[in-house]
């Protein structure tokens, strides 16, 4: 019995140690002035990043490096002139999420289930859905939110079909630390 208790204590210590290592995993902090955001991405392996700008908006993209499985892409889009009140953000987020779903060929984007969520500084709404891209099944997690008085942000995570759960920790570590720059 004593031996069993020692083994149980050792396994609990190992589990706690693994959880501590997971929480302390190093991240790269990017201060993206064009979006007015602080965004965290993985350091090991280091995700490839780039900024795409149009006249009205900017999108910052982070992609897994080559030979990483599953391949994934996270993106953050902000349009500085789009600011919503607390009462307007729900309909704005629903519209943005429905548009993303329609862009991926979802036949009834209004049937996508949307839930209230909070990520870092942002309060808003989120949906997860499956689609196809170039005949390949993919899975998309999309969030649209803001802090009142600040521009809305659209965040997306895209990977192969049924692989979104494999990126759960990467998405959590990144999205839970998104902040507006001062």
Q: Which element (helix H / strand E) includes 73? A: strand 72-83
Domain assignment of residue 31, given as a range: 27-180
Q: What is the pLDDT of residues 31-44, one digit of tens each?
A: 999 999 999 999 99
Asked if the structure places residue 56 within a domain, the reply is yes
**pLDDT digit string, tens, across residues 93-118:** 999 999 999 999 999 999 999 999 99
Q: Residue 9 domain-assigned?
A: no
Q: Give domain status of residue 62, yes or no.
A: yes
């Amino acid at each position: 019995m004593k031996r069993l208790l020692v083994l149980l204590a050792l396994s609990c210590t190992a589990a706690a140690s693994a959880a501590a290592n997971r929480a302390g995993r190093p991240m790269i902090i990017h201060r993206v002035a064009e979006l007015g955001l602080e965004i965290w991405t993985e350091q090991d392996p280091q995700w490839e990043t780039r900024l795409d700008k149009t006249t009205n908006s900017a999108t910052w993209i982070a992609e897994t490096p080559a030979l990483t499985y599953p391949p994934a892409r996270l993106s953050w889009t902000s349009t500085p002139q789009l600011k919503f009140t607390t009462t307007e953000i729900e309909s704005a987020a629903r519209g943005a999420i429905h548009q993303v779903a329609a862009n991926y060929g979802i036949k009834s984007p209004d049937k996508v289930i949307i839930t209230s969520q909070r990520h870092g500084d942002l309060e808003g709404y989120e949906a997860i859905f499956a689609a196809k891209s170039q005949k390949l099944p993919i899975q998309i997690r999309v969030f649209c939110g803001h802090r009142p008085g600040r521009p809305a942000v659209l965040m997306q995570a895209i990977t192969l079909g049924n692989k979104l759960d494999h990126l759960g920790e990467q998405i959590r570590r990144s999205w839970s630390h998104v902040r507006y720059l001062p």
